[in-house]
Amino acid sequence: MASTLLSLASATPSASLSFHEINKGKLNRGCMNKEKTSPFIKAKSFGRVSMVVASNVSRFEGITMAPPDPILGVSEAFKADNHELKLNLGVGAYRTEELQPYVLDVVKKADKLLLEKGENREYLPIEGLAAFNKVTAELLFGVDNPVIRQQRVATVQGLSGTGSLRLAAALIERYFPGAKVLISSPTWGNHKNIFNDARVPWSEYRYYDPKTVGLDFEGMIADIKAAPEGSFILLHGCAHNPTGIDPTPEEWRVIADVIQEKNHIPFFDIAYQGFASGSLDTDAASVRMFVARGMEVIAAQSYSKNLGLYAERIGAINVVCSSPEAAARVKSQLKRIARPMYSNPPVHGARIVANIVGDSALFKEWNAEMEMMAGRIKNVRHKLFDSLSSKDKSGKDWSFVLKQIGMFSFTGLNKAQCDNMTNKWHVYMTKDGRISLAGLSLAKCEYLADAIIDSYHNVS
């Protein structure tokens, strides 16, 4: 009997229909263990996946093919394109003028040093490398910041920005059940995935104003004000991704006012400290201002871009608390989240950062290389702006290219226009209109300007 049913299940769709009809009376029982009530058919239905005790049907047959990641998928599509003029402005990874990946000299030095030191590979503590945690907090808040002296910062090494955000999200889910995170509209594509998977509810605050290709400040403030008291407000510390549009210092002060008024908790994502302006301190000004007001602040850091350590996955989650006891408790709970996720973080990237930031000569060198990288992007912005302004006779204001900051520029192109960029001009970018200036060379600015002008004016 069983074998007949097995062959039914593995045959044609119509055969499995009749299999289902046989089972009709037994369906809709959910996924519970009701085997005993269906003695001759040891099968369970759950949604559209029907599991038979058959040795020739995959239990995962019903799984659908997931779509490619919208950001990382761009590079994959670029690789597949053979056109000689193709340009990859997709993922935010720094490129030299020759459009090559760049390993910082100071990182090469640190790698060599590490090999010479020959340190062991023992498990790090769950919270990561102590030397790294110390320097990363000092880097973000300033080495003389009272919150550090008073031990009010819980710092845990995380898997770059993503991993650090995920630890914080899990903390929010566990200790602030029902609390919402407000994310900017638009924001980095992976933010919503992180909060979804961590089961933290989120909603958006207005941010980008397509009319001005600038900040919708009033909308932002209104939406933050309207959020339930005690919400978490996700802020990009500098170099907003994807728009490149940052609040001014005065606007930051107003944002801080509103957040304090509503007892919200500021939650900073700092992926570009030093990379935006070229100065580590300037780029940390927004976070430091909030901390200086005595606010409790969450801040996720990444060394992917500013130290070019992308694949080493090095970052940190910092929680500035109002007391050292609170910080100790929070740190212990962050550890409790990390342990069943990956036990303890990878040591290599942490040692590189600790060595560079902890050595004044290497630290100076790093600052210089960072200025160089940020400088190249500023130059590219200028060249692109010049090309656009001189080639486009419509009088459109392209100055947003200069006003925006960081690796990315929000061009204001819509999806159809982006498709035109790719299909006609072989320019690869994300469909929200974001281009990575880090992937642009001075030599290609004119070509890109042509593509943007064509897409903007001739496609709707």
Q: Which residues are catalytic?
A: 188, 269, 305
Closest C-alpha to 306, from 284, 330, 324, 339: 284
Distance CA 368, CA 195 (A): 36
The structure tokens listed for 221 are: 């403030």
Closest C-alpha to 83, from 452, 401, 451, 454: 451
215 lies in the binding site for other proteins (CB under 8 A)? no
- With beta carbons less than 8 A apart as the criterion, state whether 299 and 140 touch: yes
Among 9, 89, 126, 317, binds other proteins (CB under 8 A): 126
Window 338 to 397, contacts with other proteins (CB under 8 A): 339-349
Among 14, 65, 211, 250, binds other proteins (CB under 8 A): 65
Angle of helix 347-357 relative to helix 105-117, nearest 10 degrees, comes to 110
Q: Mask: binding to other proteins, 268-307, rule CB under 8 A, as x and -?
A: ----------------------------x-------x---
Distance CA 321, CA 147 (A): 8
We find the least distance from the C-beta atom of residue 177 to other proteins, in angstroms, to be 5
Q: State residue 11 phi and psi, 5-degree precision.
A: -90, -145
Distance CA 436, CA 407 (A): 6
- Map residue 325 onto helix, strand or coil: helix
118 lies in the binding site for other proteins (CB under 8 A)? yes
Q: How does DSSP classify residue 228?
A: P
Closest C-alpha to 286, from 237, 351, 350: 237
40 lies in the binding site for other proteins (CB under 8 A)? no
We find the least distance from the C-beta atom of residue 226 to other proteins, in angstroms, to be 10
Binding segment for other proteins (CB under 8 A), chosen from 172-180, 205-213, 242-250, 423-431, is: 172-180
Return the number of the residue (194 or 239) whose C-beta is nearest other proteins: 194
- With beta carbons less than 8 A apart as the criterion, state whether 128 and 156 touch: yes
Binding segment for other proteins (CB under 8 A), chosen from 124-132, 361-369, 397-405, 451-459, is: 124-132
Applying CB under 8 A, what is the total number of residues that bind other proteins?
97
Binding segment for other proteins (CB under 8 A), chosen from 55-63, 238-246, 276-284, 388-396, is: 55-63
69 lies in the binding site for other proteins (CB under 8 A)? yes
Q: Mask: binding to other proteins, 71-110, rule CB under 8 A, as x and -?
A: -x------------------x-x-------xxx---x---
Return the number of the residue (265 or 448) whose C-beta is nearest other proteins: 265
Return the number of the residue (189 or 219) whose C-beta is nearest other proteins: 189
Count the alpha carbons within 13 Å of 95 in the hemisphere toward its beta carbon.
20
